[in-house]
């Protein structure tokens, strides 16, 4: 209970950054790739679906879309670029059943507005998690370095391109080995946000650093206050979380790891928490 448990390795998926679980199937993105991946846990079969023309794996860092966040609402999957450079401002909508791209949107105006509203410099802007509940979007900025720009942006309005309003909540997250952890993903269960955050010895949203560990935490979405947290790894960069099972007493998540290499394999873990 409450310990990170290794489940299996997905061969063919590299640098996993987000996942969604449904009916014994994992849908995932990798931040180096322009494919959407679907992995059947029972058959161990992996399918790939292009998110753009000329899709590729291990895309060169300077041109990659950096798909860091994935969320699903009803029959649509939403995939977000991190916004950490100008070519990473894309959101892709995918039909959850067919895995075909429905629409691709440029979120440059939204991302610029978030930076202005949150007083976050472009070099400190790096979206790593997304939640949509049908009414509001919750987008998670990952802070690296001394400026501590961990934040949750609540976006509402008609769309995410030119008719939206923004709320902004800053967070001071727990430290590991003297380094503040930073958001890497999140999921909404009821009125509770469960999030992952990693401590990394770097002051850049672009360059990776030594991984010092990861935590899982809980935030009340109505109060936007940190309720609890727990260190679940001292070595892993945990970047994706999805709900797999819930009982009256416990809640279980699948978690993926970003190995920050070009090796096309990703570890999947499970953790069960007491409510």
Q: What is the pLDDT of residue 205?
A: 47
**Residue written as tokens 């448990």?**
5
Contact yes or no for 10/263 (Cβ under 8 A): no
Return the closest-CA partner of residue 38 out of 15, 20, 54, 17: 20
Instruction: Provide the pairing of β-strand 45-50 with 35-40.
Output: antiparallel
Q: What is the pLDDT along the chain (275 residues), one digit of tens a residue?
A: 689 999 999 999 988 999 999 999 999 998 889 999 999 999 999 999 999 998 888 788 888 888 999 999 999 999 999 999 888 999 999 999 999 999 999 999 999 999 999 999 998 999 999 999 999 999 999 976 567 799 999 999 999 999 999 999 999 999 999 999 999 999 999 999 999 999 987 665 445 668 899 999 999 999 999 999 999 999 999 999 999 999 999 999 999 997 766 789 999 999 999 98
The token pair at 69 is 């966040």
CA distance 62 to 67: 13
Total H helices, total E strands in the chain: 1, 22
Contact yes or no for 12/264 (Cβ under 8 A): yes
Q: 164-181: b or e for each residue (b if 16 or more CB lie within 10 Å)?
A: bebebeebebeebeebbb
Paired residues of 168 in beta bridges: 153
Give the helix, strand, coil percentages of the chain, each rounded to 5.
Answer: 5, 55, 40
Return the closest-CA partner of residue 200 out of 229, 227, 233, 171: 233
**Residue written as tokens 């995932």?**
28
CA distance 154 to 169: 8
pTM of the shown model: 0.94
Q: What backbone phi and psi angles, to 5 degrees, belong to 109?
A: -65, -45
- Quote the DSSP letter at residue 150: -
Q: What is the pLDDT of residue 208?
A: 60
């Amino acid at each position: 209970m409450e310990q990170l448990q290794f489940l299996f390795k997905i061969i063919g998926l590299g640098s996993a950054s987000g996942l969604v679980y449904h009916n014994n199937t994992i849908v995932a993105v990798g931040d180096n790739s322009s494919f959407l991946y679907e992995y059947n846990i029972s058959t161990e079969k992996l399918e790939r679906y292009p998110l753009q023309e000329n899709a590729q794996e291990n895309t060169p860092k300077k041109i990659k879309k950096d798909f860091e966040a994935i969320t699903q609402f009803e029959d649509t999957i939403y995939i977000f670029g991190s916004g950490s450079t100008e070519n990473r401002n894309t959101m892709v909508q995918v039909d959850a059943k067919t895995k075909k791209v429905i629409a691709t949107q440029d979120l440059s105006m939204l991302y610029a507005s978030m930076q202005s509203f949150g007083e976050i410099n472009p070099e400190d802007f790096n979206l790593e998690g997304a939640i949509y509940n049908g009414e509001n979007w919750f987008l998670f900025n990952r802070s690296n370095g001394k400026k501590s720009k961990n934040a949750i942006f609540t976006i509402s309005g008609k769309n995410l391109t030119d008719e939206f309003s923004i709320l902004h909540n800053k967070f001071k997250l727990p430290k590991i080995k003297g380094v503040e952890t930073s958001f890497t993903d999140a999921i909404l269960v009821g009125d509770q946000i469960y999030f992952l955050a990693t401590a990394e010895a770097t002051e850049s949203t672009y360059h990776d650093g030594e991984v010092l560990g990861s935590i899982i935490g809980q935030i009340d979405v109505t109060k936007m206050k940190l309720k609890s947290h727990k260190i679940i790894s001292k070595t892993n960069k945990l970047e994706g979380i999805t709900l797999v099972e819930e009982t009256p007493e416990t809640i279980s998540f699948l978690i993926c790891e970003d190995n920050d290499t070009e090796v096309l394999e990703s570890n999947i873990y499970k953790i069960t928490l007491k409510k």
